[in-house]
Amino acid sequence: MLSITKVPAKSAESLDDDHYLQYRRASDGTYVFDGDMRATPERYDRKAHPWVEADDIWADPEFPYPPSEFFSDSTTWLRACDTIENPVVFQKDIANLTVNRGRFETSKFLVVFVTTMERKELIKKVFPTTQKSQAIRHFRFWYFGQWVDIYVDDALPVQEGCLLMTSHSAQSDREIGITMAEKAYAKFTGSYTEVEKKDFADFFLGLTGGYAMKYELRIPTHDSEKVYFKFKDILASGSFIFCSVKNSSRGYFFGKEESLTFSVIGTLPVRTNSSETEHVFLVKLRNIWSDFEWTGPWSHGSSEWLKCHPDDYSEVIGTHGHCCEETFFYMDIKDFVQYFEEITIGSLIPDFKFNGPTNMGFHVNVYGEWQDKSVEALHLSTNCLGSSALQFSLSEGENPGKDSFDICVLLTQKIINNENPIPMQCNIFKVIDTKEDDSLMILRTGKKTDHSRDEQAAIREKLEQGMYIVLPSIQENAKQRSTQFLVRIFSDEALHDIGSFPTTRQLIICGEEGLYQEEKI
């Protein structure tokens, strides 16, 4: 049974006449539908700010220190408010921060953090502007549909008078923002070593609530220009690109023998000032590391800049101040595909498939649960289990004559205590006919998806008007345990008849070869 947050239709202004709509208008101007298909719906209550007496200093009881297995006996923990005169969090523009790496391999988290937090709308969510105490730092991270409050004290590990154990700003001894963010995320995941195990996509989810996918770079050098223009389109849509250097191809990279990670933040076509004009396609990468420098072509002060066409060079100077800023560097796209082994593309919902910006102002959030014993087999020739299907309808309604609707579906499973995700998939079926016995004939829309052990799965489709069923499912031979999931649907028009699909109603699945299979859901 679908439990919903019912709001009178008149709160949606122009949508007054549609009695199917149960959207509420959010503060950002979007319309939101909240539902719950779990047997026992859960409610998240924001954690209150820690309370201490006026003369006391709060010590975090949930993330105690020191964890002796990682810190030596010579490590001391000192309060920033006691050892640093007027410590500040993010004193400088975060886009210009450079970082000294600490004891733990948290470089991917730091790259995603610095890159995404340059967006004002994101840093306001992750780091609330009102900090009630200098010794207590308040962060928020996205977890299963909620922005979870994380509070940490400002105790820092020090060896021989130097802050060496955790990452910290390379520019100012007063700046503790990076250190506190790293510590807060370690508390969020359970420990610093849990942060080490995660990848770009995990951090992007926790910092934005968005969707990210990893791609291996197996592009021949002669096809590198295609990558350049793809990057240009991705960045233009507001998405993010994160990348890692090949371990076996450090060539022109000068720095520590650690994981080198960056984010692509721009593209720039330039011309060489030669007898035959040659077009060079440069990618601009963010460099937050204080111990690294790219020394290859188009690096800081390289001879290639002297050959650059004066008009293009002036554009670089005028836009970026000078081409040798410490916080970014340029690479020829041909070198990029040679030296980088993979990229992760992340985007804020709803444009996670990078098909260009779309005004998806209608958001549906429905929680469900795969039960460990009560699930029924729903084969659909895909060997999956399903117990919570969601239905909705699309009609031309407020836009007569509209023949297609842009839909994004994002399925997220709830991960508890860093357990491994179970293999899951999400499919959309269109109802194409109703039989006399009230059973439905349905047809899969789009490509068949595979089961994956990712925390999230995504679908983006253009759908015609009609009735649809969203089926989140787990693999039949997966280890069965009660696992909660969240379905988020983003659309450019309102959905109608949103609800749970009756488990007793029969479905007739139309196969690819025109055959029918009768199954129950």
Query: Cβ neighbours of residue 151 under 8 Å, at least 6 residues apart?
Result: 47, 49, 50, 60, 136, 137, 138, 139
CA nearest to 147, candidates 128, 114, 125, 127: 125
Domain boundary assignment for the chain? 3-36+359-520, 76-209, 219-347
Place of tokens 């996670």: 352
What's the CA gap between 134 and 154, in Å, rounded? 8
> What was the pLDDT predicted at 247?
64
Asked if 98 and 326 count as a contact pair (C-beta separation under 8 A), the reply is yes
CA distance 353 to 458: 8
d(CA 521, CA 506): 7
pLDDT at 466: 93
Largest CA distance in the chain: 81
pLDDT at 143: 95
CATH superfamily of 219-347: Cysteine proteinases (3.90.70.10)
For residue 196, what is the enclosing H or E element?
A: helix 192-196
Q: Which residues contact 461 (CB under 8 A, 6 or more apart)?
A: 407, 409, 428, 445, 446
Let me know how long the chain is: 521
**pTM for the whole structure:** 0.87
Q: Are the C-beta atoms of 396 and 453 separated by less than 8 Å?
A: no
Instruction: Give the residue from 413, 442, 412, 440 showing the smallest Cα distance to 428.
Output: 442
Predicted local confidence at residue 521, as pLDDT: 38
For the chain, what is the radius of gyration of the CA atoms? 26
Residue among 200, 188, 192 at smallest CA distance from 103: 192
Please give the Cα distance from 310 to 463 (Å, whole number).
49
Residue 297 is given by DSSP the state T
Beta bridge partners of 484: 369
Q: Which two tokens stand for residue 462?
A: 């253009």
CA 221 – CA 42 distance, rounded (Å): 52
Nearest residue to 487 via CA among 385, 429, 408, 422:
408
pLDDT, residue 293, reads: 78
Angle among Cα 87, 91, 94 to the nearest 5 degrees reads: 135
Angstrom distance (rounded) from CA 388 to CA 392: 13
- Within a 10 A sphere around the Cβ of 504, how many other Cβ atoms? 7
* Residuewise pLDDT in 10s, the chain (521 residues): 454 443 333 333 433 334 345 788 988 888 999 999 888 888 888 888 888 776 678 888 888 765 556 666 777 778 887 878 888 888 767 888 889 888 888 999 999 999 999 998 899 999 987 777 778 899 999 999 999 999 999 888 777 666 667 888 888 888 899 999 999 999 999 988 899 999 999 999 999 999 999 998 888 877 899 999 999 989 988 899 999 887 655 556 655 545 678 999 999 888 876 666 788 999 999 999 887 778 889 988 888 888 887 777 666 655 544 444 678 899 999 999 988 889 999 988 765 544 445 678 899 999 999 876 434 333 332 323 345 789 999 987 666 778 888 899 999 999 998 888 999 999 999 999 988 888 888 999 987 777 888 899 988 889 999 999 999 988 766 656 688 999 999 998 899 989 888 877 787 888 654 444 444 33
Cβ neighbour number for residue 53 with a 10 Å cutoff = 7
Euclidean distance between CA atoms 406 and 392, whole angstroms: 14
Q: What is the pLDDT of residue 365?
A: 94
Q: Quick check: 99 and 115 in contact, CB under 8 A?
A: no
Packing angle, helices 177-189 and 107-116, rounded to 10:
120
CATH class of this structure's domain 3-36+359-520: mainly beta
**If residue 112 lies in a helix (H) or strand (E), which one and from where to where?**
helix 107-116
CB neighbour class for 269 (10 Å; exposed up to 12, middle 13-18, buried from 19): middle
Contacts of residue 288, Cβ cutoff 8 Å, sequence gap at least 6: 97, 98, 99, 110, 111, 114, 327
Q: Give the per-residue pLDDT at 161.
A: 65
β 506-510/440-444 pair status:
parallel
- Bridge partner list, 240: 346
What is each CA distance from 138 to 84, 86, 421, in whole angstroms?
19, 17, 28
